[in-house]
Homo-oligomer: A and B are copies of this chain.
């Protein structure tokens, strides 16, 4: 599946490159987008920084190929999905005050908040244009319907995520509902979009969508694990960032509701009105370990992974899904036992 993903990336880059063409005096705004995408460095020189994993467009294109054999027809859809994802990263980084992403300064850290807001806005608009300007007329409108509904979910999820910064008690159920919108919905849309561009009927689109949603849930829960327990080399972010910033990820949500001395101490740390110091961060992680939160979070991740695998088994009866199986393995590596 590796060489396939490289071909996908090339096709997507080509379309984005094309969509970003602008008159010279306005090109500066698109340089922020090119920087974020890893095409140029801080001074504007061409580089090939490791791009994101591009899971969402890969999901879209592999679904299209699995149904019709033709992934190229779905490139406008996959590109729109990837651009929406990147729009949300640029804005989330401002909202979360994250200064690093994929080992590089975030757009706002480099160019200031105001221009970064503006860069994110234009990324979203270019995403819409990938469909409006480049999808065949009979696909564009249903694809835009999927895309914008997904974007609504993204903003709604982000709303709750931000809102909860000042909430003491968030339940596991509430948390899972939130990441369903903030993360899983775009995976779902990616899979639906692939099916749509492959000419599948609505029932099939929805089946693939459910698979995408489960995959997205598993992906987010694993990301939560990494945010607390992964070494910096694996994430390109500050170590244990989620914990230091008292982010309400799944292990935190679960730990904060624990009726034990460790839970109570964790609530005290998360109740501070500032980032945690390195010793406090280490203590919080010790508490989470003591509470068995790594295992419980891993369990949830496995549950969604198994759900996705099960859905894929059903889809395998009528469609070619072997590359999707491989993708799952690359997306969902090493859930600790």
Contact call B29/A155, Cβ cutoff below 8 A: yes
Provide the bound-state CA to CA distance between A29 and B161, in Å: 11
| Docked-complex contact B148 and A91, CB < 8 angstroms | no
CB–CB A151/B132 < 8 A: no
Q: What residues of B have a CB within 8 angstroms of the CB of A29 in the complex?
A: 155-156, 159
Chain B residues with Cβ under 8 A from A155's Cβ? 29, 118, 121-122, 125
**Quick check: A148 and B121 within 8 Å, CB to CB?**
no
Q: Which of A87-113 contact B (CB under 8 A)?
A: 87, 91, 94-96, 113
Interface flags, A113-133, vs B, CB<8A=1, else 0:
111011011101110110011
> Is the Cβ of A25 less than 8 Å from the Cβ of B160?
yes
Q: What B residues does A149 contact at CB under 8 A?
A: 129
Asked whether, in the complex, the Cβ of B162 is within 8 Å of the Cβ of A148, the reply is no
**In the bound complex, how far is the Cα of B29 from the Cα of A117, in angstroms?**
18
**Complex contact A132–B118 (CB within 8 A):** no
Q: Which residues of B contact A94 (CB under 8 A)?
A: 113-114, 117
Knowing A125-B152, A159-B28 touch, does A114 contact B95 (C-beta < 8 A)? yes
- A145 adjacent to chain B (CB < 8 Å): yes
Residues of B near A141 (CB, < 8 A) are 132, 137, 140-141
Q: What are 29 pairs between A and B in contact, CB < 8 Å?
A: A22-B152, A25-B160, A26-B159, A26-B160, A29-B155, A87-B121, A91-B118, A95-B114, A95-B118, A113-B113, A115-B159, A115-B163, A117-B120, A118-B158, A118-B162, A121-B124, A122-B151, A122-B155, A122-B156, A126-B152, A128-B128, A129-B148, A129-B149, A132-B141, A132-B148, A133-B145, A133-B148, A141-B141, A144-B144
Chain A: residues with CB nearer than 8 A to chain B?
22, 25-26, 28-29, 87, 91, 94-96, 113-115, 117-118, 120-122, 124-126, 128-129, 132-133, 137, 140-141, 144-145, 148-149, 151-152, 155-156, 158-160, 162-163, 174, 177, 181
